[in-house]
Amino acid sequence: MEKWDGNEGTSAFHMPEWMIQFADQKQEFNKRSTKIGRRSLSRSISQSSTDSYSSAASYTDSSDDEASPRDKQQKNSKGSSDFCVKNIKQAEFGRREIEIAEQEMPALMALRKRAQGEKPLAGAKIVGCTHITAQTAVLMETLGALGAQCRWAACNIYSTLNEVAAALAENGFPVFAWKGESEDDFWWCIDRCVNVEGWQPNMILDDGGDLTHWIYKKYPNMFKKIKGIVEESVTGVHRLYQLSKAGKLCVPAMNVNDSVTKQKFDNLYCCRESILDGLKRTTDMMFGGKQVVVCGYGEVGKGCCAALKAMGSIVYVTEIDPICALQACMDGFRLVKLNEVIRQVDIVITCTGNKNVVTREHLDRMKNSCIVCNMGHSNTEIDVASLRTPELTWERVRSQVDHVIWPDGKRIILLAEGRLLNLSCSTVPTFVLSITATTQALALIELYNAPEGRYKQDVYLLPKKMDEYVASLHLPTFDAHLTELTDEQAKYLGLNKNGPFKPNYYRY
Amino acid sequence: MEKWDGNEGTSAFHMPEWMIQFADQKQEFNKRSTKIGRRSLSRSISQSSTDSYSSAASYTDSSDDEASPRDKQQKNSKGSSDFCVKNIKQAEFGRREIEIAEQEMPALMALRKRAQGEKPLAGAKIVGCTHITAQTAVLMETLGALGAQCRWAACNIYSTLNEVAAALAENGFPVFAWKGESEDDFWWCIDRCVNVEGWQPNMILDDGGDLTHWIYKKYPNMFKKIKGIVEESVTGVHRLYQLSKAGKLCVPAMNVNDSVTKQKFDNLYCCRESILDGLKRTTDMMFGGKQVVVCGYGEVGKGCCAALKAMGSIVYVTEIDPICALQACMDGFRLVKLNEVIRQVDIVITCTGNKNVVTREHLDRMKNSCIVCNMGHSNTEIDVASLRTPELTWERVRSQVDHVIWPDGKRIILLAEGRLLNLSCSTVPTFVLSITATTQALALIELYNAPEGRYKQDVYLLPKKMDEYVASLHLPTFDAHLTELTDEQAKYLGLNKNGPFKPNYYRY
Amino acid sequence: MEKWDGNEGTSAFHMPEWMIQFADQKQEFNKRSTKIGRRSLSRSISQSSTDSYSSAASYTDSSDDEASPRDKQQKNSKGSSDFCVKNIKQAEFGRREIEIAEQEMPALMALRKRAQGEKPLAGAKIVGCTHITAQTAVLMETLGALGAQCRWAACNIYSTLNEVAAALAENGFPVFAWKGESEDDFWWCIDRCVNVEGWQPNMILDDGGDLTHWIYKKYPNMFKKIKGIVEESVTGVHRLYQLSKAGKLCVPAMNVNDSVTKQKFDNLYCCRESILDGLKRTTDMMFGGKQVVVCGYGEVGKGCCAALKAMGSIVYVTEIDPICALQACMDGFRLVKLNEVIRQVDIVITCTGNKNVVTREHLDRMKNSCIVCNMGHSNTEIDVASLRTPELTWERVRSQVDHVIWPDGKRIILLAEGRLLNLSCSTVPTFVLSITATTQALALIELYNAPEGRYKQDVYLLPKKMDEYVASLHLPTFDAHLTELTDEQAKYLGLNKNGPFKPNYYRY
Amino acid sequence: MEKWDGNEGTSAFHMPEWMIQFADQKQEFNKRSTKIGRRSLSRSISQSSTDSYSSAASYTDSSDDEASPRDKQQKNSKGSSDFCVKNIKQAEFGRREIEIAEQEMPALMALRKRAQGEKPLAGAKIVGCTHITAQTAVLMETLGALGAQCRWAACNIYSTLNEVAAALAENGFPVFAWKGESEDDFWWCIDRCVNVEGWQPNMILDDGGDLTHWIYKKYPNMFKKIKGIVEESVTGVHRLYQLSKAGKLCVPAMNVNDSVTKQKFDNLYCCRESILDGLKRTTDMMFGGKQVVVCGYGEVGKGCCAALKAMGSIVYVTEIDPICALQACMDGFRLVKLNEVIRQVDIVITCTGNKNVVTREHLDRMKNSCIVCNMGHSNTEIDVASLRTPELTWERVRSQVDHVIWPDGKRIILLAEGRLLNLSCSTVPTFVLSITATTQALALIELYNAPEGRYKQDVYLLPKKMDEYVASLHLPTFDAHLTELTDEQAKYLGLNKNGPFKPNYYRY
């Protein structure tokens, strides 16, 4: 595998800046997978003693036998051995996890029902590389129900739920993934998905771009039969835009990361809740009366500010963009420079996507017991490295919680070592994952069925009508009743009764 | 003037549907002008007895002499008579109004200061057609300070503040406008602005498209020297897009209506306040505990819902767009069809831009004392015409408030006869008008100074950087302090330190 | 009448401090009555041109004939002349006002229905002295329906609605009141209510204490037959407590001012809405982003703060009481001293009940265009007198709005000359008045029917059960469904199923 | 010990109903202690793997040796053996916990400072029986600093933090308590506190009434020297009122449970945060768009409703008290009977203090996946016993989370088996405990120093001035600046400049 190692592979892109970002991102994903993993498994009695704040490491500890799955001979009950998972015998337990997830992913289940007659993915051969969780399993089995054949690897070496992988293998899905893969394992699994005799993928579902990258490197000819790529992550999308700019993108790609529904749920609505959750679980603090500064008033910042204001905190905002700044003003937040309030605030939250927003100088000036955390992007926003100096003492007081102590005894409380608080210290609700998975499924259907010429070798946003469709599939969860346009009204507005209902530049 | 009359003029476009809309809109504008007019003048002691709810009619009543301004000979103190206003002697009073407005329009005043060295509009010859109010006067005098020559007419026959027009004329601006123009007067005034010996406009600032239309009809050759059109209204923008589609737009045009800042202020932030204001001034109702249905969850609906929820009302939402519907759910509103709640609600508010959203059938089923009003667009949303039937009795209980009484004694309370509540029954804060005026000024500067080729014969949105600039000019009002990117951060984000800070598809 | 004049009468109490307060209060009541009066009449077309902000004076201007009602001979249609109103012919118009008020006072109407069998006030002879408005008329006619005989005078020389008084007289109620009474008229009317041959009151309903005072002074023997006094106003209640302390209270008195329901509605819920309404109607300002300091965090302050925060203002609070201060903190407001923020705020609102909370020194330091208003009590909170100095210029820009201009051009915007903003510049919703009137009716029933010994010669709060009953009568307005305790639950809690449900010290 | 056992002791009161309540309450307290214990210890690295949701049992598991502390011979470093704790060697670790708590209990630390001159508790001999946690330790050491001698036992057999008890013993406090006492141990410890040669308590600080009860039963003569009892718990206060009613209370007692500050923090402010925290930690649910019914609109219900509304839930309220019901309406919640919404809601929360609010019939009608939990009182509100029937399957999916499954597959999610969610599944912030501890300290000072005759043999509320003082001591935490009355203002209001500022019936 020496030729295929991660460093060689990725360095081939020669794009230093975002490669650094990608590396950051990857670390984040490790955490994320851990979190998602925890959530599902923690439902079970057998795992009920799992600490909410346990680090990724604890998961690998729990592996009960040392033999590599690659060395095992396993068969599912139908006799197939076209898979590689930790332990096929865990299938029944994983199936239960999947069934619980099905209850909370009504949109995918609705897609299955609607597709009982027609199979919009009949003939599709999808190779996928994502986190392997109960929610992903619901997605995969939905794709199957819609007519597709699937082969799947994990996009992260820690995030696979072994039980779920086993259940998928038992159900006939060729899955190659287990928790605690080595980097070599990682690429081996991906290769086993694509390098098959008598089977060639015609669709790619990727999360992070590694699968896409692998095919580019090893099997460029495969792209002749591939109808398109669906990519979910910020990083993977970034890579695709780079390829497109460089004229190297040879199939259409769908950027599902920037669809309206996904953005609002991943950012505004999800963070509105997870900022409170993350702070409570780590610090047990009381929000009422606390002074908080939120750096950045994008969707994430808006969510954090709204939640904390509602809980009785006094919130200040910093911004670089005057439009967002004016929004902060109109929403009732004082717009300040960080320096103006750094001495008085009880909490500092970064939501900028920028780097070194909180510097050592800021950290030096914070008051005793100030809490510092990051809700933004990656782990660059707080200059944590600057705190690793001899005169400061670090004291780990809980998992994900460090006290950094100054020589004069002042201590600041640093959460998740500056990584994403919401991924590290709270959970992502299944409802949010449901929206993402539905968007992915629809993007695959769209690309697979699009008439010749609709999509060129470029990166596309999900068509607005599909975005609207994802939303409509989730309305029944809230017993929400949509109004239909009359013919007369549709004509008056110049709209189709079934949408799309807004111009592309509409801001929601 | 028989060839130039309004009907002939507008019918020339041959676009029946939107022409109807345009007619509706025009009615609205009449109201708007009235309102804006009231606001400014009501500051003065001499007008302090003016009723908040007085109809447009009351303004024409107050005209003190019957002679048409067109028949008068007037000169300003410098001896010029190149203007036509009601009474040049009212100039001093109008000047005071302008001075008060200047205090609340800091952005334009800042533009004047910044332009003391360079004159970005030196050489510009701007012909304008807008409401003539104190706020417009601040805009005009700012354009003058920036180097432009201006000639101005009113875009509405009722909305001119005579005192302000006089003050502008006294200050040397050729203004042709008075309150209570006839339609013939209206086009005569416009013609006096453009048809001048030895002076040809090279920029157009329009509100509603009438001026643009006039030049198209009468002086098409003028477009050879015209560098661009800046248009503010929904209607005028619609016309420009139609011209563009038809290939008839012969200069670049700037759509300032859809800039971020203007949209958020005109819709979300302004309506959040004016829904409460409009309901209170007309009905003195208490909001707490009231059940309200808001039809439409766009920016206007979002503003109305947020305000009423905050005041303790129980709010239901109807929507046709599943994305906006999902937003309503996440914001805590039950999404219903109007029929489901029409019997139980105390207030019905339309914010859709659609027609016949509230039908006679709905009106028949409302409970006694239900309040019905429109915050959306035009006067089409509530089917008011359906209430003009013999079995129903109309009782005017206040200006802008009608009780419509059913044979069984049930009465519903209809506000502003279904026209826009916020324009009819509340006021538009100067701060909102300041944002609009600043946007107009910057659009003029941009179009006038743009290098050859930047803009083609098409309709453009204001460049994001200018939108951001408008916002930044208004931040000092809130003592808001913007953060600046460091060089390192700008590089990391791949942004210019001065913006623009967001991609064009960013949703705010 | 020289012996009976107001000064002589009131000075007899020899309590200088509260007498001053009383005088202040009286001024306020004049305003209040005006406001209440305006509201009802403004419904009518004939009055639709009435300015919302007109001062009390404007009402007397509209009197159409100069003859004093005391000099007129009038008879109602049944031939009775036992009344004295402006013009009995206005009865029909007043009746319509009363009918509209009935629709919004469901609790009193419910009381009438429940009393169709039994007449809880049979035999009651009530003498009343309150504002005479449509709402009071609904109360009086309800008392009549419950079996009482009533005689009524006005508690304020300006607040009587002549049409309503006429309608009551036409319906057989001996009413002695008109708008624009002289002080002599005022006491004459009261005397006509109590000094009747063959009729002696056995119950008193008072608002301000003047009626009670009159009987004390002139007919002390009447108290032998009087079963009790019901008093609504702060001032009147204060007087009663003073009498009680001095051992001079000779009948039981019910303080309805401090019942839970009335307090919450008059203060918290009503002010939450009227602060916005009052500011908008006077200044058309935008709330979003404005910095506001609210002095005092009692019920009124809590209401103002909640409303402004919800509209996007940034709110600071001052307090003297550490408990209320801690509440402000937990509700998300920075607690400051006025001096700390006076230079930066856009609005100053007083809600303390204290005097000289805003001093000349504060006023000197405010920034240009700062708005100053009072939501608290009386007109003492802002030291308006200190602004009446030669170097400052006052400019009345609207009714109730003054600009006070400093030599350097700075102007502050003073609302209602420091009197109560909510009474001067907004309206009191009928729903709030309904709660007050119902409380009064129930207090009369309770005192009249109480068995010997339940009440001594002291001042009582309304029994909690009655307070709960007032609340329950208003729940149908909101289609609100109360849960009933099961027998088992009532036993578990040690409560009667019909209440009272809380101990007396419960804080709600 | 046969004469002293718990049953005999408590049954002596002969008050069956509240004894049942007391038993319930005791269970609750067990949980509470567990929670409080967890919080503090979880700060330490050595305990960082402790599950947030671990049951009480897990604590006893961790005991490392089996010998009863009663059988051990231990001495602190000063040679004293007048204590009985698990292991005196853990003192250093406990000291660190206490030091951290000191940082978050500024009010007690301020009391220590102010008392450096005078010792308001000089001569006081306090016997205490409370949870023994770091926060209690700060209280005890404060009492010591104020001059008191203290002896202490635990009020709960599970809640003692052994390390903290060791630290107190090391510091010279005679503490008799360890985690996992038997009932016999429990009373033995209490007895060791009071039955000492040459030392008689003159003050009692109790939490639950067991200590008080013990002295009543065993050493009634001690009351001759006892100046008063300070009692914190609902149960203990209930017992005291019963004693008082029965004429058996022989010393003054202070009910600190009902002081304003404590009530608002324990209920409104604390629950506003803990409802969100408890639901998130147990279910990871998303709040946005969820339909919730909250049973009861007292302080706890108000807190829950406000928080969930702010997070985008749609909240319904049930109430039996019409006043609270009307408040719910004005705050924007639909008031319903539980039956009306039980089929549609996603979450049911009880906050009533009542029993069987949620019955089996309600549970049968809930929809699939409905979450049911209790924020009220004890474990009586949800009829959990009714779910223990053969046709229903219980599945424990996490600690504190059970799925109860109906034969048709419907499952409801029951949290904490119907016990208090906030005590079982979230934490109590130190700030709240600080307010309680400060109140206790001040109550002891007041009772100890009160002049003869101020307090009789009755139950008293904390004097308002002291309540205000507790609040004032906590204001610096928020950098909150209180305004002081001028002499003139104090006179005008008839108040002392230092308070109390409100009449006793003031509702806050």
Tell whether the model's pLDDT for residue D180 goes beyond 50. yes
- Structural domain including C348 reads 268-425
For the cut 60, the answer to whether the pLDDT of residue D251 exceeds it is yes
Length of chain D: 508
Tell me what the pLDDT averaged over chain B comes to: 87
In one letter, which amino acid is D436? T
Residue A32 has pLDDT above 50, yes or no: no
Token duo for residue C1: 């009448």
Q: In a 3-state reduction of DSSP, which class is residue C254?
A: strand
Tokens of C25: 């209060």
Chain C neighbours, 3+ Cβ pairs < 8 A: A, B, D
- D195 plus D318 within the same structural domain: no
How far is the CA of A100 from the CAs of A134, A473, D331, in angstroms?
8, 19, 37
Specify if D17 maps to a domain: no
pLDDT for the residue numbered A65: 60
pLDDT value of residue D13: 28
B11 vs B1: CA distance, rounded Å: 16
Mean pLDDT (whole number) for B80-100: 95
Residues B226 and B111 grouped into a single domain? yes
Annotated binding site of B for NAD(+): 298-303, 319, 422
- Whether C248 has a binding-site annotation, put simply, is no
Predicted pLDDT of residue B104: 84
Q: Is the pLDDT of residue A436 over 60?
A: yes
Asked if C331 and A312 come within 8 Å (Cβ–Cβ), the reply is yes
Of C42, C273, C280, which has the smallest distance from its Cβ to B287's Cβ?
A: C273
Residue D58 has pLDDT above 70, yes or no: no
At residue B308, the pLDDT reads 98
Residues of D in contact with C353 (CB under 8 A): 493
**Among B263, B320, B492, beta carbon nearest to A482:** B320
Burial class of residue A196 in the structure, from the number of CB atoms within 10 Å of its CB (0-12 exposed, 13-18 middle, 19+ buried): middle
D300, D375 contact by CB (below 8 A): yes
More confident residue, C422 or D218: D218
Question: What does the DSSP 8-state code read for residue D196?
Answer: B
Share of chain D above pLDDT 90, in %: 76
List the single range of A459-473, D60-74, D78-92, D409-423 with lowest mean pLDDT.
D60-74
Residue C296 Ramachandran class (φ > 0 left, ψ -120 to 50 alpha, else beta): left
* Mode of pairing for the β-strands spanning B125-130 and A291-295: unpaired
Q: What is the DSSP string of A147-214?
A: T-EEEEEESSSS---HHHHHHHHHTT--EE--TT--HHHHHHHHHHHH-BTTB--SEEEESSSHHHHH
- CA A287 vs. chain centroid, Å, equals 28
* For residues C176-204, average pLDDT: 96
CATH code of the domain covering residue B175: 3.40.50.1480
- CA dist A365 and A385 (Å) reads 17
Q: How confident is the model at residue C427 (pLDDT cuts 50, 70, 90)?
A: confident
The residue whose two tokens read 């990682």 is A186
Cα B164 from chain centre = 18
Q: What is the pLDDT, as a whole number, of residue B86?
A: 97
What's the average model confidence in pLDDT over D299-318? Answer: 98
Residues C223 and C357 in one domain: no
Residues C363 and C457 in one domain: no
C463 or A377, higher pLDDT: C463
Strand A371-374 versus strand A393-398 pairing type: unpaired
Has C303 been labeled as part of a binding site?
Answer: yes
Q: Domain check: are B198 and B272 in the same one?
A: no
Give the closest residue to D256 by CA, choosing from D469, D49, D461.
Answer: D461
Per CB-CB distance under 8 Å, the chain A contacts of D427 are: 280, 284
Is the same domain home to C231 and C283?
no
Residues of D in contact with A426 (CB under 8 A): 280
Over the stretch B11-52, which tens digit does the pLDDT of each residue have? 222 332 332 333 334 443 333 333 333 333 333 222 222 333
Which of D322, D329, D482 has the CB atom closest to C320's CB atom? D482
Structural tokens at position D506: 């003031």
Residues C221 and C352 in one domain: no
ipTM for the whole predicted complex goes beyond 0.90 = no
CB C336 within 8 A of CB C293: yes
Which run of H or E residues covers position B293? strand B291-295
D160 & D249 share domain? yes
pLDDT at position B51 is 30
Write the residue in B321, B326, B508 that is nearest to A501 by C-beta: B321
Compute the nearest-CA separation of B175 from chain D (Å): 52
Gap between the Cα atoms of A88 and B140, Å rounded: 78
Least-confidence region, from A90-104, B242-256, C10-24: C10-24
pLDDT at residue B6 in the model: 29
In a domain, C495, yes or no: no
Please say if the pLDDT value at position A193 is more than 70: yes
The pLDDT value given to residue A448: 97
Using CA atoms, how far apart are residues A4 and A184, in angstroms rounded to an integer? 8
Structural tokens at position B204: 């157009």
Residue D317 dihedral angles phi and psi, to the nearest 5° = -130, 140
Average pLDDT (A224-240) is 93
D-chain residues within 8 Å CB-CB of B332? 288-289, 309, 311-314
> Does residue A124 fall inside a structural domain?
yes
Assigned domain for B115 exists: yes
More confident residue, D15 or D413: D413
Instruction: Report CB contact under 8 Å: C355, D502.
Output: no
Q: The CATH number of the domain where C413 resides is what?
A: 3.40.50.720
Q: Is C486 annotated as a binding residue?
A: no
Inter-chain residue contact A312 with C289, CB threshold 8 Å: no
Number of H helices, E strands in chain D: 20, 15
Q: What is the pLDDT of residue B56?
A: 30
3-state secondary structure of A269: helix
Predicted confidence (pLDDT) at residue A50 exceeds the cutoff of 70: no
Mean pLDDT of C432-437: 93
- Six-digit token string for A60: 């690998």
Asked whether the beta carbons of C126 and C155 are under 8 A apart, the reply is no
Test B330 with D313 for CB contact under 8 angstroms. no
Considering only A72-86, B490-504, D41-55, which range has the smallest mean pLDDT?
D41-55
Specify whether the CB–CB gap between A86 and A162 falls below 8 A.
yes
Q: Same structural domain for residues B329 and B187?
A: no
Confidence bin at C422 (pLDDT 50/70/90): confident
CB D280 within 8 A of CB D257: no
Q: What pLDDT does residue B64 have? A: 52
Q: What is the mean pLDDT of residues D414-429?
A: 89
Claim: this prediction has a pTM higher than 0.90: no
Contact C285 B429 (CB under 8 A): yes
- State which H helix or E strand residue C412 sits in: strand C411-415
Indicate whether C211 and C306 sit together in one domain. Answer: no
Look at phi and psi of residue A289 and say left if phi exceeds 0, alpha if psi is from -120 to 50, else beta.
left
Q: What is the percent of chain C with per-residue pLDDT over 70, rounded to a whole number?
A: 87
Please tell me the distance from the alpha carbon of residue C216 to that of residue C211, in angstroms, as a whole number: 9
The single-letter code of the amino acid at B135 is Q
Chain C's closest residue to D262, CA to CA, is C323
What is the percentage of chain C residues whose pLDDT exceeds 90? 76
CA dist., res. D394 & res. A84, Å (int):
35
Closest to C120 (Cα-Cα) out of C144, C152, C151, C137: C144
> Percent of chain A scored above 90 by pLDDT?
76
Residue B483, pLDDT above cutoff 90: yes
Each residue of C320-339: pLDDT tens digit? 999 999 999 999 999 999 99
Establish how many alpha carbons lie within 13 A of residue B429's alpha carbon, considering only the half-sphere containing its beta carbon.
24
Residue C155 lies in a domain: yes
Scanning every residue of chain A, which has its alpha carbon at the shortest distance from the alpha carbon of B297?
Answer: A508
User: Predicted confidence band at A64 (pLDDT cuts at 50, 70, 90)?
Assistant: low
Q: Which chains touch B (3 or more CB pairs under 8 A)?
A: A, C, D
Is B442 strand, coil or helix?
helix
Q: Does residue B414 register a pLDDT over 50?
A: yes
Chain C residues in contact with D269 by the CB 8 A cut-off are 330
Question: pLDDT of C109-137, one tens digit each?
Answer: 999 998 788 899 999 999 999 999 999 99
pLDDT of residue C185: 96
Q: What is the pLDDT of residue A23?
A: 36
- pLDDT, mean over chain D: 87
A34-43, A251-260, D174-183, D287-296 — which is least confidently predicted? A34-43
CB A301 within 8 A of CB A354: no
What's phi and psi for A309, nearest 5 deg? -60, -45
Name the token pair of B333.
């509103």
CA–CA distance, D423 with D375 (Å, rounded to integer): 9
**C85 within domain boundaries:** yes
Over residues A270-298, the pLDDT tens digits come to 999 999 999 999 998 999 999 999 999 99
Structure confidence at residue D56 as a pLDDT band (50, 70, 90): very low
| A330: three-class secondary structure by DSSP | helix
Residue D486 lies in a domain: no
A43, part of any domain: no
CA nearest C12: which of C222, C246, C181, C271? C246
Tell me what pLDDT residue B65 has. Answer: 60
Least confident of B73-82, C39-48, C499-508, D408-417: C39-48
pLDDT at D52 over 90: no
Least confident among A22-31, B41-50, D135-144, D303-312: B41-50
Residues D232 and D301 in one domain: no
Nearest chain A residue (CA) to D474: A289
pLDDT digits over B120-167, tens only? 999 999 999 999 999 999 999 999 999 999 999 999 998 899 999 999
Specify the number of domains making up chain B. 2
Asked if the bond preceding A500 is cis, omega within 30° of 0, the reply is yes
Q: What average pLDDT score do residues C283-294 get?
A: 96
Q: What pLDDT is attached to residue A9?
A: 27
User: Has C467 been labeled as part of a binding site?
Assistant: no
Picking from C379, C459, C482 by the largest number of D CB atoms within 10 A of its own CB, the best residue to mutate is C482
Q: Who has greater pLDDT, D49 or A242?
A: A242
Distance (Å) from the alpha carbon of B134 to chain C's nearest alpha carbon: 15
- What pLDDT does residue D33 have? 35
- Place D266 in a pLDDT band, splitting at 50, 70 and 90: confident
Q: Is C232 annotated as a binding residue?
A: yes
Residue D327 near residue D299 (C-beta atoms within 8 A): no
Q: Residues of A annotated in the binding site, as ranges?
A: 133, 207, 232, 262, 266, 298-303, 319, 422
pLDDT for residue B404 is more than 60: yes
Q: How far is A134 from chain B (nearest CA, A)?
A: 24
Same structural domain for residues C368 and C458? no
**Residue in the structure block whose two tokens are 């408890």:** D278
Cβ-contact D300, D267 below 8 angstroms: yes
Give yes or no for residue D139 having a pLDDT over 90: yes
Q: Is pLDDT above 50 for C363? A: yes
Residue D64 — pLDDT band, cuts 50, 70, 90? low
Residue in B313, B330, B331 closest to D332 by CB: B313
A35: confidence class by pLDDT, cuts 50, 70, 90: very low
The alpha carbon of residue D273 is apart from the nearest alpha carbon of chain C, in Å, by 11
Q: How far apart are the two ends of chain B, measured CA to CA in Å?
A: 48
Residues B184, B69: contact at Cβ < 8 Å?
no
Name the residue facing A332 among C312, C329, C331 (closest C-beta): C312
Going by DSSP bridges, is the β-strand pair C411-415/C401-405 parallel, antiparallel, or unpaired? antiparallel
Question: What does the alpha-carbon distance between residue A331 and residue C314 come to, in Å, rounded to a whole number?
Answer: 9
Nearest to D471 among C265, C326, C504 (CB): C326
Q: Please give the average per-residue pLDDT across D166-185, as a whole number.
A: 97
Q: What is the mean pLDDT of residues D176-183?
A: 95
Q: What is the pLDDT of residue C190?
A: 98
Task: Count Cα neighbours of C136 within 13 Å in the Cβ-side half-sphere.
Answer: 31
Q: How confident is the model at residue C64 (pLDDT cuts 50, 70, 90)?
A: low
Residues of D in contact with B325 (CB under 8 A): none
| Mean pLDDT of the region B316-337 | 98
Angular region, D409: left φ>0, alpha ψ -120 to 50, beta rest: left
Confidence of residue A57 (pLDDT cuts 50, 70, 90): very low
